[in-house]
């Protein structure tokens, strides 16, 4: 093989290695990016909806206390607004079921919430319930705590799923880095091997030819360099040898 093809082949092989590693890394990183977006769109949406339901539930509890204290107007408004927010976020959670068993958690929340709602939807102001803290604790507070606990269980379910997905994303990110590391290591090894062959087949023969030429000029030693390869270096050695033979013949004449 000619020298120029050897050198070009070496650079082509190195370029192919880097291109393959780059394509694999880009593919893996793109996959990780899409997974992160999916994680935010799914688990985080459910966690946010659960958090909003808890806040709405606590505002409803405040509204119940206002009703017990006889503040009908402010109490009903607080309850009505909080109920709208709760139902809105319950619908978001129902439409974003992504984990096995999550739908069962949401169904339990929905049933428990409407049981809880039946307690405070009845008149309180102007009835025996007004000012009755014992009624509040015995009837309302326990139902309120049950709904809140179920919502927290839904939140924990999604948090655990998010943590698991995050761990998987970390593993994928490490896999995305690996092709680059392998390419760097392989590139270094290949460069060392390529440098060795360049030295062995190019630099070393040229150095031998230079030494032989200097020996001819300084000590009149015959040019005698054997080249193993059949390439431009071999052609150069043969040309120099012919030149010296011709020069020796001319001197003898």
Element housing 201 (H / E): none
Highest mean pLDDT among 23-27, 35-39, 114-118: 114-118
Mean pLDDT of the chain: 77
Q: Domain extents for the chain?
A: 34-181
pTM: 0.55
Q: 148 to each of 1, 21, 31, 110, how far by Cα in Å?
A: 79, 50, 37, 11
Q: Which CATH architecture has domain 34-181?
A: Up-down Bundle (1.20)
What's the N-to-C CA distance of the chain in angstroms? 39
So what's the pLDDT on residue 125? 45
pLDDT band of 131, cuts 50, 70, 90: low
So what's the pLDDT on residue 85? 94
- Quick: pLDDT tens for 183-208: 777 777 877 887 788 878 778 888 88
Residue closest to 53 by CA, chosen among 140, 120, 149, 118: 149
Burial pattern 104-113, b for ≥16 Cβ within 10 A else e, equals: ebbebbbebb
Rounded Cα distance between 37 and 97, Å, is 16
């Amino acid at each position: 093989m000619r020298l120029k093809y050897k050198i070009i082949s070496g650079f082509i092989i190195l370029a192919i290695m880097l291109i393959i590693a780059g394509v694999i890394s880009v593919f893996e990183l793109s996959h990780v990016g899409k997974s992160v977006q999916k994680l935010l769109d799914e688990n985080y949406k459910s966690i946010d909806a659960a958090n909003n339901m808890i806040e709405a539930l606590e505002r409803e509890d405040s509204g119940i206390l206002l009703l017990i204290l006889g503040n009908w107007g402010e109490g009903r408004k607080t309850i009505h607004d909080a109920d709208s927010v709760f139902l809105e976020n319950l619908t978001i959670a129902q439409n974003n079921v992504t984990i096995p068993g999550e739908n069962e958690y949401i169904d339990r929340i929905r049933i428990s919430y409407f049981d809880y709602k039946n307690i405070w939807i009845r008149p309180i102001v102007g009835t025996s319930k007004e000012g009755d803290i014992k009624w509040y604790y015995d009837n309302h507070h326990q139902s309120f705590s049950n709904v809140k606990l179920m919502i927290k269980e839904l939140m924990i379910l999604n948090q655990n799923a998010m943590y698991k997905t995050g761990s998987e994303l970390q593993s994928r990110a490490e896999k995305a880095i690996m092709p680059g590391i392998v390419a760097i290591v392989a590139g270094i090894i290949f460069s060392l091997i390529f440098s060795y062959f360049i030295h062995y087949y190019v630099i070393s023969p040229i150095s031998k030819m230079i030494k032989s030429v200097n020996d001819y000029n300084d000590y009149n030693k015959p040019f005698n360099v054997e080249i193993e390869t059949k390439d431009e270096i071999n052609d150069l050695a043969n040309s120099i040898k012919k030149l010296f033979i011709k020069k020796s013949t001319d001197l003898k004449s």
